[in-house]
Amino acid sequence: MISFTIRLKFKPEDRDEIHEALRAATQASRLEPGCVTYIPHTVDGDSDTVVIYEQYKDAAAADAHRASAHFKKYIVGSLYQRMLERSVETLHAIG
């Protein structure tokens, strides 16, 4: 099992478009065979920061996610084009 938290910061005027792209990316990502969970969040008190929690059965499944058409369309084509900041943490389950 491999998990990630991705923290992204956006401009307030991009909020609606970002949320729309996240809804579409979430729906498609959850259908991937190796995706265990994919949950985007807003941060309490900072609605322009998004944290995505993703969990995959293994590294190959995470790689397949990043190679998918929906990742390229919604994440690379929308979120990455509008983000002001990005940080990623790779998590490994204990036990």
Cβ atoms < 10 Å from Cβ of 65: 21
53-93 pLDDT tens trace: 999 999 999 999 999 999 999 999 999 999 999 999 999 88
pLDDT band at 95 (very low <50, low <70, confident <90, very high): confident
Integer Cα distance of 3 and 56 in angstroms = 6
Residue type, 45: G
Instruction: Give domain limits for the chain.
Output: 2-92
Q: What is the pLDDT of residues 2-30, one digit of tens each?
A: 999 999 999 999 999 999 999 999 999 99
**φ and ψ at residue 11, rounded to 5 degrees:** -75, 145
Whole-structure pTM value? 0.93
- Given the candidates 3.30.420.140, 3.30.70.100, 3.40.50.920, 3.50.50.60, the CATH classification of the domain at 2-92 is 3.30.70.100
